[in-house]
Structure 1
């Protein structure tokens, strides 16, 4: 049997995972079950923190996000995975790549240093919200983004869709599936052409021109929005497509590219289907690479990355053993 040494912060590990959400913990589970030494560093800033429950996760629909993470942390710890609450701040290369002795050196905010053979970043993203008074305070409640995450909860209400980019036209169609009372707030979005306007009219979607300056609420419920010209539009829910900002600062020093997302709504870290980035030894999963991924998809990506990283390490172990034998 292969003994596995302890791997607290300050020691060398096979894999350092930065981000302790569903993607990171799913990767940790696979790697822990493969008898890898794994350290998960988690800053405790989950994207879905404002939400009371997560949805569309088979067998866990309606589970509070914190509850899912607690269950997952207990599971991975049972396989020897080490969990460290903190922030990774810098990453660099050390060692000799030609001898397969290269390592990532990652500094943590508390001053600890970790050496790792592979680096997996699952730190997610930040939703950059439109600067509208009162909007952020309702985010994740009756100001929502994803129709698959929270659309059912606002079904049959009067839903406004705040346009900030061309994506809003796709967004409004998705929410029209959930309610026959949908209002397209053009706000700062592009002007509608004749075909677009006709399509919205055919679906009985009201178009309201004018910039939205405030979200109104009463008795802890959204009641409408105010426009710059003083008009008020009564609403019961508001759909917003935020800008996605991948939490990728740690990767800057390693030369991992961060590029515009195809949606046009932010940036992400590109990777192949297995989660491998353009920089050897660096892998990503979850919202840092796929902003559209719901919790179940992020966990699935983490599972894939965990297996791929273990296979990569197996190949290196075999190569190293052959070199030493010679």
Structure 2
């Protein structure tokens, strides 16, 4: 998934292609939104309702599309799958005059009066530009990862679904001591936690071991070898041993898709996120960012709220 503007799922990609084939894309608009996940779709919706001409460029690879079911998105008492939520957001957005293209943006450049955005076979200009390019979770490099993810056994966000792990046996895969912080966070939900280091416990400092022991968190001495989803649980093989968990969290980090912003010289923080102000403006005039690519809590609701704030500010600037 290493692309610079994750967006919506493949079904929506077909829809966007059809829309783009039906009518030529405008060469100039008020605003271009790059990324068709919850932040990008919300920004495009708001801008269209502000009666601004909008071009939404969607590479069809949203992180949201890979969520089996979210239980902390408001309004859905039984939860909602990521793909269903994307489809609903897109259907609502496309009820308005939003130009959409299923393309992978390669370049952005400053031009007089705004920006020029380029992709294979085309380009367009806009006075304002919003990046909703998101992030990609770094998965474990072993078999059965996708199977476990689809089944909801392999997870990436304890903020999203730690509640579902209450009193369960939970494992955490990590490659640095950042995994210690995630283990301590999940300890609030369950006492049954095991930390698995990709290179084994040798990677844990004495201080880290002390913090884990004080919290009652176990760790595996051996390097992790493989995982296997079976009958609603997930087995972690480490050395000659194995541990069975109800769910497994991956704490191997994120790839933050700031490449396009860096072409324009936008500032990033120490963690690699785009620096934005209270209106979600970046350090580059006319360039805005919302969603997981920008500073803040990586949550669907936060992404959509940031996009609404950015779109309102863009409208006033226009």
Q: TM-score range by the shorter chain?
A: 0.7 to 0.9
1:17 aligns with 2:15: no
Match of 1:81 in 2: 98
The Cα shift of 1:259 comes to: 4.7
1:150 aligns with 2:161: yes
Please give the alpha-carbon distance, in whole angstroms, between the structure 1 residues aligned to 2:46 and 2:236. 47
Pick the aligned partner of 2:230 from 200, 206, 218.
218
Please give the alpha-carbon distance, in whole angstroms, between the structure 1 residues aligned to 2:187 and 2:135. 27
TM-score normalised according to structure 1 size: 0.81
Residues 167-226 of structure 1: per-residue CA shift (max 9 Å, x gap) = 2222112222322321122444742435x544433443222222112112335x443211
Which deviates further from its counterpart, 39-48 or 135-144? 135-144
The Cα shift of 1:136 comes to: 4.8
Q: In 2 relative to 1, CA 291–225 (structure 1 residues): closer, same or farther, beyond 3 Å?
A: farther
Contact between 1:56 and 1:148, CA under 8 Å: does it hold in 2?
no
Contact between 1:56 and 1:296, CA under 8 Å: does it hold in 2?
no
Residues 6-44 of structure 1: per-residue CA shift (max 9 Å, x gap) = x95242100000011111111122211211111111111
Pick the aligned partner of 1:172 from 183, 187, 191.
183
Taking the TM superposition and a 5 Å limit, the aligned residue runs for 1:242-321 are: 242-261=252-271, 267-290=272-295, 292-313=297-318
Please give the alpha-carbon distance, in whole angstroms, between the structure 1 residues aligned to 2:61 and 2:296. 16
Residues 75-129 of structure 1: per-residue CA shift (max 9 Å, x gap) = 223332222222222111223xxxxxx23111123x1221110110101111122
Which deviates further from its counterpart, 116-125 or 196-205? 196-205
1:28 aligns with 2:28: no
Match of 1:239 in 2: 249
Contact between 1:15 and 1:116, CA under 8 Å: does it hold in 2?
yes
The Cα shift of 1:60 comes to: 3.3
Give the match's secondary structure for 1:288.
Answer: coil
Pick the aligned partner of 1:193 from 199, 206, 222.
206
Please give the alpha-carbon distance, in whole angstroms, between the structure 2 residues aligned to 1:243 and 1:201. 24
Q: In 2 relative to 1, CA 300–179 (structure 1 residues): closer, same or farther, beyond 3 Å?
A: same
The Cα shift of 1:286 comes to: 0.4
Match of 1:106 in 2: 117
Please give the alpha-carbon distance, in whole angstroms, between the structure 2 residues aligned to 1:121 and 1:38. 13
Unaligned runs of 5+ in 2: 1-22
Contact between 2:35 and 2:59, CA under 8 Å: does it hold in 1?
yes
Q: In 2 relative to 1, CA 217–72 (structure 1 residues): closer, same or farther, beyond 3 Å?
A: closer
TM-score normalised according to structure 2 size: 0.83
Match of 1:4 in 2: none
The Cα shift of 1:258 comes to: 4.2
Match of 1:40 in 2: 56
Match of 1:320 in 2: none
Residues 112-155 of structure 1: per-residue CA shift (max 9 Å, x gap) = 22111011010111112233444354236211121232223343
The Cα shift of 1:298 comes to: 0.5
Q: In 2 relative to 1, CA 270–8 (structure 1 residues): closer, same or farther, beyond 3 Å?
A: farther
CA radius of gyration, larger in: 1
Contact between 1:145 and 1:242, CA under 8 Å: does it hold in 2?
no
Please give the alpha-carbon distance, in whole angstroms, between the structure 2 residues aligned to 1:253 and 1:161. 35
Please give the alpha-carbon distance, in whole angstroms, between the structure 2 residues aligned to 1:133 and 1:270. 36
Unaligned runs of 5+ in 1: 1-6, 96-101, 262-266, 314-326
